[in-house]
Copies of this chain bind each other. A is one copy, B any other.
């Protein structure tokens, strides 16, 4: 049970945590966020997430409000007052209250705690299906709150029997609505799109952990190359490494999750464990 959120550093009962209607997230969808897991009471890879959050804020010219301590301390305080052991944390920085309904002045900083993500375990053992969609996210390097296209297509995803989207920019793979995408090519290279994608923290860790095992590349990947790949995965904070067995009507590899994904997943779990032990 999540009892408290934090608004501009002030611990607030979750039921009373609100924004006034002239906040620029509500009026203009203007804001950024980030999202990370809490394990054993500790925020996982917090340094990476705070670095990205700070970069997103700077790219939208939003100043993170000055708190009494650091942002990391405010997060730790929220973990403590909620008594969180396994959970997730969302940071949101909005354009703030705007009398003119358009010009950011003093951003509002929200820290929200959520339950630990609950994902269908069959997705890992059986793999998932993607629905491709020609779309380039706006200001892709910023983790903005804009999910218009991803959310609008939820019904179409269900109708197609797919679990997630695969955005491509006129044939060049980009990412999923909330995940990065990787392929294991026919000749055994682990590749992920380099440009115009959100630089995921899990993406970065996987690239590092995979490097001793396989050749890795950040580069352009065409839709055609995807169709010849041996394995395809999504990676995200919530999903970890999730195998993809179908894209639209195309079967990936032999239609079953491949062999590299669980190896990388094990390495990722072990790496996370080591990180948490060092944090004690």
With A21-B5, A21-B18, A27-B33 already in contact, the answer to whether A149 and B139 are too (CB < 8 A) is yes
Q: Which of A101-109, A190-198, A218-226 contacts B (4 or more CB under 8 A)?
A: A101-109
Q: Which of A5, A21, A59 has the most CB of B within 10 A?
A: A21
CA distance A29 to B17 in the complex (A): 18
A110: interface (CB < 8 Å): yes
Contact B152 A60 (CB under 8 A): yes
Q: How far is the CB of A38 from the nearest CB of chain B, in Å?
A: 16
- Complexed CA–CA distance, A231 and B1 (Å): 62
Q: How many protomers of this protein does the assembly include?
A: 2
Kindly name the residue among A22, A110, A145, A149 whose own CB sees the greatest number of chain B CB atoms within 10 A: A145
**Contact for A114 among B25, B92, B101, CB less than 8 A:** B101
Contact A138 B148 (CB under 8 A): yes
B28 touching A147 by the CB < 8 A rule? yes
* A window 11-64: CB within 8 A of B: 14-15, 17-31, 33, 59-61
Q: Does A243 contact B (CB under 8 A)?
A: no
Which of A31, A95, A149 is most buried by chain B, counting CB atoms within 10 A of its CB? A31
Which residue from B5, B101, B155 sits with its C-beta under 8 Å from A61? B155
Q: Report how far A5 CA is from B26 CA in the complex, Å.
A: 14
CB-defined contacts of A214 to chain B, threshold 8 Å: none
Q: Which residues of B contact A17 (CB under 8 A)?
A: 20-21
A272 CB-CB contact with B under 8 Å:
no
A112 within 8 A of B: yes
In the complex, chain B residues whose CB is within 8 Å of the CB of A92: 21, 26-27
| B28→A26 contact, CB < 8 A | no
Name the contact of A30 in the complex, choosing from B94, B147, B155 (C-beta under 8 A). Answer: B147
Q: Which 6 A-B pairs have the closest CB atoms?
A: A29-B29, A18-B18, A28-B147, A29-B145, A29-B146, A25-B26
CA distance A114 to B100 in the complex (A): 9
